[in-house]
Amino acid sequence: MHNWFRLAQMDVDKLLTQLNGLSFDVAKSVEPSILAELTRKAKAVFQAQPVLLELVPPLVICGDIHAQYNDLRRIFSQLGQPPTTRYIFLGDYVDRGPQNLETIVLLLCYKVKYPACFYLVRGNHETSPVNAIYGFKSELEQRYGQRDNIGLFWMFNDASDSLYARGLSPALTERDQLRLIKRGWQDPQGVNIAMDLLWSDPEPGTKGWKSSPRGCSYLFGDDILSDACRKLDVDVIVRAHQVVQDGYEIHPTQKLVTVFSAPNYCGEARNDFNFNLIFNNFSLIMLALLCTWM
């Protein structure tokens, strides 16, 4: 029997207090209707903001989290809690790690509570074809049961239909295209440049576009990266989506930074946890600043 606390309406402050406590278990403490209301409120916040986010620094930029909830909390404890510290996270919040539910609930609570200083970008793991396979859906089923799992799974993914995406695409030639990205898709297949924005990767030391070994989208060379910065009128592109040893990695061209914020990834990769990319005066675009999650 669940010992859920029952609220007349979703109380973000109470949820944040619980989530920042020791050993809080969302599934044992929060009934599905409260999570459903959280996803609705988060979706409304995402949809109220522009598709292309043009943010003013300073802010902390964090990469993949992959359900490593304790590491996510460590980011806030070491770099400061919102709204004192402003954050943008570059996607891949769920899958592979041990605490999908706590991770996504904490992030959505902060987004609802502090919409103007806490930003979430969509990764490829914020799409239902991916997170139905790599851990998010199965964790919901295990912790909430078959009946509530299905509804919660689609509610969280529906929220992500209004988030932001990331990456480069052969079809992306100017910044205004990002403002025209449509919300409301789950499977990026066939959705204009959406697939590339979620899946493309750099390949330093090469030129042009190549098919990606991931089985979808492309690898882009140094010339493509330089050309994209010129066309988008930015100095640096910051993206996630790849494990890097020191938590961040600067591209040889100095025009791209990859950020990854899940240390000891999946208990196998011996990558470090260096998440404090704090930008103060760069003109940059988080290849991501497209609203397509929620």
Q: What is the CATH number of the domain that holds 139?
A: 3.60.21.10
Nearest to 102 by CA among 61, 151, 59, 140: 140
Phi and psi at residue 101, to the nearest 5°: -65, -50
Tens-digit pLDDT profile for residues 266-285 = 766 565 555 445 554 444 44
Find the domain containing 184 and state its range: 12-291
Residue 289: pLDDT over 80: no
Q: Look up the pTM and report it.
A: 0.86
Residue 7 domain-assigned (yes or no): no
Residue 76 domain-assigned (yes or no): yes
Instruction: List residues with catalytic annotation.
Output: 125
Residue 291: pLDDT over 80: no
Structure tokens at 225: 């990266």
The b-or-e profile of 69-79 (16+ CB within 10 A means b, else e) is: bebbeebbeee
Residue 180 domain-assigned (yes or no): yes
Among the residue ranges 38-47, 79-88, 244-253, the one predicted with the least confidence is 244-253
Residue 131 CA to residue 6 CA, distance in Å, equals 28
**pLDDT higher for 141 or 191?**
141
Cβ partners under 8 Å of residue 64, min gap 6: 90, 91, 92, 123, 240, 241, 243, 260, 261, 262, 265
Residue 127 domain-assigned (yes or no): yes
Residue 3: pLDDT over 50: no
Phi and psi at residue 257, to the nearest 5°: -125, 130
Residue 25 domain-assigned (yes or no): yes
Give, in order, the Cα–Cα distances in Å from 54 to each of 90, 113, 157, 279, 289. 14, 20, 24, 14, 8
Total number of domains in the chain: 1
pLDDT, residue 24, reads 87
Residue 88 domain-assigned (yes or no): yes
Residue 5 domain-assigned (yes or no): no
**pLDDT higher for 183 or 176?**
176
Are 128 and 259 in contact, with CB atoms under 8 Å apart?
Answer: no
Residue 112 domain-assigned (yes or no): yes
